[in-house]
Amino acid sequence: MPDAVEGAVASPNATTQLITRGEYLARAGDCVACHTTPGGKVFAGGRPMPTPFGNIYVPNITPDEETGIGQWTADEFYRMMHTGISRDGKLLYPAMPFASYTKVTRDDSDAIYAYLMSVPPVRQPNRAHELRFPYNQRELLVGWRALYFKEGEYQPDPDQSAQWNRGAYLVQGLGHCAMCHTAVNALGGSSESKAFEGGMIPNQNWYAPSLTSNREAGLGNWSIREITDLLQVGVSHRGTVYGPMAEVVYNSLQYLTDEDVEAMAVYLKALPQRDAEPPPTSQARLVEPAVMELGRRVYDKQCAMCHGAEGKGAPPDHPPLAGNQSITMASPVNSIRMVLNGGYPPGTMKNPRPHGMPPFSHILNDEEVAAVVTYIRVAWGNSGAPVTPAQANDLRRLLPE
């Protein structure tokens, strides 16, 4: 009798497939970034999330039955993702991006749940939030939700392609990109009509540029390859990610498939441009000659070796500064921070040994920092505005001692 199973391929285990898919989706949602303390156990929580209202301490989402989510059901997990209501009926603070996660499908929520239930349980009690009165009164969240939360899974746009819709689902949902790239008001909310128009990231002192303005990070004149490289690799011929976005690429986007990253790029590139005013012209005329000369000297000594005498850089390792939208946008915060702090783009699978920029806070005083940032923002036809030593000093005070 012939061996019927000889050469047959074992059927894949459905549970393993579900967990693997859930791990992928959890990475797309960058869950580890908030739910894991630096050097701590994965998903054990305890990380303080600073907000304008005080610290929120992120919970343990390992399957520990006493301190984690080990007693949660898939239904309860989906309700939390979809409605922002916890297993015990408490309203979640919007530091948890349920306003974006509500768009996640039930199937994807179940996959994430299966993955989280498969990770090692960690017994680590959750820490109470430290919020000022009246923000520590959860019942006030009813008003916040009425103003800023719209419940509902993502609904595909029939007038768009499957690729565009996949990108929209990832960007609007698990990617929760609007949380950073939309300005937050005094109540900690953001207007849907202002989505992706840029804003300061609360308590991080980085500016998340507008994705709808080609004068900031608008991608209308970027190629799809340039966008996918920035998202997945961390560097492209048009720019480099630093700061909070570098963490997103490191923890999340580098692990997505080429197809999903390209879908995100297609969606982001198609965001409607909302520039209401004509493009600004060079502001060099507003700079005192002595400041311009100081900035040029500092640039020639400290910057030109990598970025070139004419600011053309040597991409992708050394990004261009001439014509770089991230240099000329209205907020100079990121440019000042890069000069003071330096930084590296993330080490990714496609760029494991990135080139970094050294800090200059110990070499340059506030006048020199302001002068060189001003020079970079107005030289070579750049249309940025000058910055002041006071602006440099404000950010210098945030440096660790």
Domain harbouring 339, CATH code: 1.10.760.10
Alpha-helix runs per DSSP H in 104-149: 106-116, 141-148
Region 231-254: what's the mean pLDDT? 92
Is residue 146 included in any domain, yes or no? no
How does the average pLDDT of the chain come out, rounded? 90
Q: What is the pTM of this model?
A: 0.89
Is residue 156 included in any domain, yes or no? no
Domains of the chain: total? 3
SS3 annotation, 289-323: HHHHHHHHHHHHHHCHHHHCCCCCCECCCECCCCC
Using the predicted structure, report yes or no on whether residue 9 has a pLDDT greater than 60: no
Same domain? 349 vs 292: yes
Same domain? 24 vs 96: yes
For residue 52, what pLDDT band results from cuts at 50, 70 and 90? confident
Using the predicted structure, report yes or no on whether residue 93 has a pLDDT greater than 60: yes
DSSP string, 363-399: T--HHHHHHHHHHHHHGGG--PPP--HHHHHHHHTTS
**What pLDDT shows up at residue 102?**
97
Same domain? 98 vs 56: yes
**What pLDDT shows up at residue 79?**
98
Residue 268, CA distances (Å) to 164, 233, 366 in order? 9, 17, 37
pLDDT tens for each residue of 257-270? 999 999 999 999 99
Residue 215, domain CATH: 1.10.760
**What pLDDT shows up at residue 277?**
59
Domain span holding position 392: 284-396
What are the tokens at 285? Answer: 């005329």
Is residue 157 included in any domain, yes or no? no
Region 165-185: what's the mean pLDDT? 93
Is residue 141 included in any domain, yes or no? no
Same domain? 21 vs 120: yes
Which range among 1-10, 60-69, 127-136, 355-364 shows the weakest confidence by mean pLDDT?
Answer: 1-10
User: How many Cα atoms sit within 13 Å of 225 on the Cβ side?
Assistant: 2
Same domain? 319 vs 248: no
Calpha distance 27→16 (Å, rounded)? 17
pLDDT tens for each residue of 319-336? 899 988 888 888 899 999
Same domain? 294 vs 389: yes
Same domain? 105 vs 174: no
Is residue 4 included in any domain, yes or no? no
Same domain? 288 vs 263: no
Same domain? 182 vs 89: no
Same domain? 167 vs 116: no
